[in-house]
Amino acid sequence: MEERNTGITIEASEVSIRYRTGDFKDIGLKEWVIRKIRKDYHVEEFMAVKGVTFKLYEGDLLGIIGTNGSGKSTLLKAITGIMEPTNGYVKVTGQIAALLELGSGFDGNLTVKENAYLRGAMLGYTKSFMDEKYKEIISFSELDNFSNRPFKQLSTGMQTRLAFSIASLVQPEILILDEVLSVGDGAFQEKSARKMREIISNGATTILVSHSLEQIKELCNKILWLHKGEQVAFGDNVAEICDNYQHFLNGDVIS
Ligand SMILES: Nc1ncnc2c1ncn2[C@@H]1O[C@H](COP(=O)(O)OP(=O)(O)OP(=O)(O)O)[C@@H](O)[C@H]1O
C-alpha cells in the first residue's frame, strides 16, 4: 500500500515509557536518609509501554484495547504530552482535547458552574467563550438543575457528562477519550457517541480507550491491542483483532 505522508496527525515511533518508583522525590528526604543509612534504598523501574509504533491520519478513530495494566493510559499520557517517552517519540499535529482521568481538574467544593469555567480555563477557553457556551454545556450534560450545587454532589456518571460536554464543545483536531464513555448511562453513551461522530466527520482524529469491544467495533476504523506494554496488533482490521482479543480473554489458543 502506498504510504501517505500528508494528513498524519499522530505518529508514535518505538515509544517506550518507564516508571520509576521509590526514588528521592517519591519518598521524601526523611525516608531517603533512613533508607540510605540502612542501606535499603532502591529505585524500582518498570517499563509500562514497550516499543509502540503507529500512525494516525485526519479522521481516523483509533480504539485501544488491552487488559488492566497493559499500558493504555500511560500511552495516552505520552500522546497528550503529560509524560515524555523514555525511548522513541510521539509527534502530534493539531490541538488536542483530552478527557483522561475523571475528576482531575475539578474541585469538589466549588459549584458545577464554577468547575465548568475552571475546566474550560484549563483547556484554554476564555471567560467570554465560556459565558457564551455555558448554557450549551449544561444542557448537553443534562445538569440544568445542578448548576449551583457543589460538584462533589454529582455522581460519577454526571461528572463524566460534564467533562465530556466541556471537552467536546469546541471542534478539537484531536480528541482523546480514556474509558469515559462507558461511565454514563445508555442514553448519554448514545448521545456522546453521536457527538464524537460529528467531531470525527469534521476531520478530527480520535483515540478511544475502551473495554467494550462492541463500542470499538462500532466506532473505530483502526485498533491497537496492548498486552503488558507490548503492541500485540495494530491495524484497520478492527473486527478481526477484536475477535482475536476476545479469544485471548476466553483463554482460547490462537493459531
Ligand atoms: N505512576 C506510576 N508509577 C508506577 N507504575 C505505574 C504508574 N502508573 C501506572 N503504572 C503501572 O504501569 C502499568 C500500565 O498502567 P496503565 O494505567 O497505563 O494501564 P491501563 O492499560 O491503562 O490499565 P487499566 O485498564 O486498568 O486502566 C501498570 O502495571 C501500572 O501498575
Q: CA dihedral in degrees (84, 89, 94, 99; nearest 10)?
A: -40
Transcribe 107-139 into DSSP letters: -TTSBHHHHHHHHHHHTT--HHHHHHHHHHHHH
Please report which confidence band the pLDDT of residue 2 belongs to, taking 50, 70 and 90 as the band edges: very low
Q: Which of 18-32, 129-143, 222-236 has the highest mean pLDDT?
A: 222-236
Q: For residue 46, report the phi and psi dihedrals to the nearest 5 degrees.
A: -145, 125
Q: Is 172 in the pocket of ligand 1 (CB under 6 A)?
A: no
Total residue count of the chain as it appears in this document: 255
Please report which confidence band the pLDDT of residue 1 belongs to, taking 50, 70 and 90 as the band edges: very low
Please report which confidence band the pLDDT of residue 101 belongs to, taking 50, 70 and 90 as the band edges: low
Ligand 1 centroid to Cα of residue 73, in Å, is 7
Asked if residue 71 lies in contact with residue 17, where contact means CB atoms within 8 angstroms, the answer is yes
Ligand 1 centroid to Cα of residue 168, in Å, is 26
Q: Is 69 in the pocket of ligand 1 (CB under 6 A)?
A: yes
In the structure grid, which three cell numbers stand for residue 140, read together?
448537553
* Pairing between β-strand 230-235 and β-strand 8-21 as defined by DSSP bridges: unpaired
Q: Is 211 in the pocket of ligand 1 (CB under 6 A)?
A: no
Q: Is 128 in the pocket of ligand 1 (CB under 6 A)?
A: no
How do residues 8-52 score in pLDDT, each as one tens digit?
899 999 999 999 877 777 778 888 888 889 888 888 889 999 999
Ligand 1 centroid to Cα of residue 70, in Å, is 7
Ligand 1 centroid to Cα of residue 47, in Å, is 10
Which class for 126: exposed (0-12), middle (13-18), buried (19 or more C-beta within 10 A)?
exposed
Ligand 1 centroid to Cα of residue 217, in Å, is 24
Euclidean distance between CA atoms 138 and 151, whole angstroms: 13
Q: What is the pTM of this model?
A: 0.80
pLDDT at 5: 55
Q: Is 48 in the pocket of ligand 1 (CB under 6 A)?
A: yes
Transcribe 163-194 into DSSP letters: HHHHHTSS--SEEEEES-TTTS-HHHHHHHHH
pLDDT at 180: 66
| Ligand 1 atom 5: residue of nearest CA | 19
Please report which confidence band the pLDDT of residue 254 belongs to, taking 50, 70 and 90 as the band edges: low
Q: Which residue has the higher pLDDT, 6 or 120?
A: 120
pLDDT at 102: 57
ipTM: 0.97
Ligand 1 centroid to Cα of residue 49, in Å, is 9
Q: Indicate whether 181 pLDDT > 70.
A: no
Q: Is 73 in the pocket of ligand 1 (CB under 6 A)?
A: yes
In the structure grid, which three cell numbers stand for residue 100, read together?
483522561
For the CA of 229, the closest atom of ligand 1 is: 14
User: Mean per-residue pLDDT for 171-184?
Assistant: 76
**Average model confidence (pLDDT) across the chain:** 87
When mean pLDDT is compared across 12-16, 168-172, 201-205, 222-226, the lowest value belongs to 168-172
Please report which confidence band the pLDDT of residue 104 belongs to, taking 50, 70 and 90 as the band edges: low
